[in-house]
């Protein structure tokens, strides 16, 4: 699987004007995922800087806040291909009983464990926890968008129980992985973000990886995902890495054919939003029938 599902981020050339569509990276020079070494800390420094958020970050966090506020899932959340990143379940931590965080990379999982332990060397997620706290206070209390996220960060830690950070390669079907379903506790949310399209080597593998995601969903399970659509390559640091250029329609077709309903989507794209390194992002929630 992808090194902590590096954020399939198209490159924005220097000097690109805000609001203009960034030129796509040259996919011809990109290499398949997994050929270059992966550094979770470098990945975090590039795509999750401790002191800033861009419009894509805000788009995703607002979407997730809305989904979890509306659905209020009560059992556990399974994060697939979560890498070293914890921000995709900050809002969910208000409601779920526990969080199981998986990724193929031991180094990425160590970053999550450092956060869980509130270790001095852990990555700084305060800005994103503050953002989630402001969303929660604004909706529930009518308070201004202000307030620290220390309690929110601790809430996330409390839901990451000891032993709940596991290795799992999404290229392998669930029955061949090290995270058997019976060992997860009750799961009501399956969460996957910008993994399959960035780690797969071709469309066939992308479809197979999504089928592995869907196989974790029993009837009534809430599926929450974001996908970097229309992306051919992303910056892996040492080199460009190939991505599978999927469209929103392709994603929706697979979700529907896998037996999901109550599908809610939002699309972030340059032109409609402030331009970032990511040209287009599909956010989706659905319920397994």
DSSP 107-136: HHHHHHHHHHTT-TTS---HHHHHHHHHHH
Q: Cite the DSSP H helix spans in 179-247.
A: 196-199, 203-214
CA distance 144 to 141: 9
Give the whole-angstrom CA distance, residue 34 versus residue 285: 29
- CA gap 24, 243 in Å, rounded: 12
Per-residue model confidence (pLDDT) at position 30:
65
Domains of the chain, CATH where assigned: 27-288 (3.40.50.150)
Q: What is the per-residue pLDDT for 43?
A: 83
- pLDDT for 175: 72
Contact 230, 279 (CB under 8 A): yes
Per DSSP bridges, beta strands 99-103 and 165-167 are parallel
Instruction: State the Cα–Cα distance between residues 172 and 188, nearest whole angstrom.
Output: 22
For the stretch 210-249, pLDDT in tens is: 999 999 999 999 999 999 999 887 766 566 778 899 999 9
- Average pLDDT of the chain is 84
246 versus 23: which is more confidently predicted?
A: 246
Residue pLDDT, tens place only, 135-191: 998 755 445 444 568 999 999 999 999 899 999 999 988 875 556 565 677 999 999
pLDDT at 11: 31
Decide: 271 and 19 in contact? Cβ < 8 Å: yes
Strands 99-103 and 222-228: unpaired
Question: HSE (CB half, 13 Å, CA atoms) of 272?
Answer: 10
Please give the pLDDT value at position 232.
82
Rounded to two decimals, the pTM is: 0.85
């Amino acid at each position: 699987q992808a090194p902590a599902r590096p954020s399939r981020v198209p490159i924005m050339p220097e000097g690109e004007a805000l609001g203009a569509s960034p030129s796509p990276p040259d996919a011809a020079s990109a290499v398949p995922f997994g050929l270059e070494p992966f550094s979770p800390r470098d990945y975090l420094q590039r795509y999750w800087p401790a002191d800033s958020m861009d419009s894509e970050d805000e788009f995703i966090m607002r979407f997730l806040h809305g989904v979890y506020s509306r659905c209020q899932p009560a059992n556990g959340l399974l994060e697939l291909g979560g890498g070293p990143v914890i921000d995709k379940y900050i809002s969910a931590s208000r409601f779920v009983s526990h969080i199981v965080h998986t990724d193929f990379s031991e180094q990425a999982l160590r970053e999550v464990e450092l956060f869980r332990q509130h270790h001095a060397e852990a990555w700084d997620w305060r800005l994103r926890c503050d953002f989630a706290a402001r969303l929660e206070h604004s909706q529930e209390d009518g308070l201004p968008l202000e307030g620290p996220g220390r309690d929110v960060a601790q809430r996330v830690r409390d839901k990451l129980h000891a032993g709940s950070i596991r290795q799992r390669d999404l290229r392998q079907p669930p029955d061949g992985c090290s995270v058997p379903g019976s060992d997860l506790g009750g799961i009501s949310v399956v969460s996957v973000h910008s993994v399959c399209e960035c780690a797969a080597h071709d469309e066939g593998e992308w479809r197979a990886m999504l089928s592995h995601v869907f196989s974790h969903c029993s009837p009534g399970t809430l599926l929450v995902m974001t996908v970097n659509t229309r992306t051919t390559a992303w910056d892996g640091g040492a080199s460009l890495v190939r991505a599978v250029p999927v469209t929103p329609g392709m994603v929706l077709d697979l979700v529907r054919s896998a037996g999901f309903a109550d599908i809610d989507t939002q699309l972030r794209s340059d032109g409609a939003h402030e331009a970032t390194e990511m040209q287009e992002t599909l956010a989706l929630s659905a319920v397994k029938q």
